[in-house]
Amino acid sequence: MVSKGQTELDGAGVTLISSLADHIERYIKALLDQTEQRSLEIRRVELAELFECVPSQINYVLKTRFSNERGYIVESRRGGGGYIRIIRLEPRHRRDICTWIYETVGDSIEAEEAEGLLAQLLDHDHLSRKDAVVIRSLLTQETQGLEKTLANRARAVLLRSMLLLLLHGS
């Protein structure tokens, strides 16, 4: 039997625990996918009521799953009539993605920022899970043991090169 907050996988009967934050994230992304625009306005209180949680749980999801590094801008107004506006920043065409990668990666990128970029490309189906795993592994292997500034520069060169090859070459 699967309880609230869990999803049963087909076939093997294996149960995968899925957190409330995962459910909220998927719901918001589905709403964004359904809209013709790149933005969405929702009320924090209504979202909290829908998921039977406190508004601070919604804030947590917005802060951790809809950050600038992951390709979103979140505007928030608190109070009785408060709302949340979520804007998805995503290039639509391969050429735009390449330009965006140059601008986002720059000459130096920290590991957390690189991970956010990979997550965003995965979210928008610009990158396969297999490619993301290979990139993460290579970045970790090639930058471990380096001084932070040098590691950030090396990570930027490697990440930019691999992404441009994968995205522009296809």
Q: Looking at 88, 107, 129, which one is the last position of a domain?
A: 88
pLDDT at residue 33, rounded to an integer: 85
* Domain span holding position 38: 20-88
82 domain residue, yes or no: yes
132 domain residue, yes or no: yes
pTM: 0.55
29 domain residue, yes or no: yes
Residue 98 and residue 160 share a domain: yes
Q: Looking at 88, 119, 135, which one is the last position of a domain?
A: 88
In this predicted structure, which of 18-27, 61-70, 156-165 has the lowest mean pLDDT? 61-70
> How many C-beta neighbours within 10 Å does residue 60 have?
15
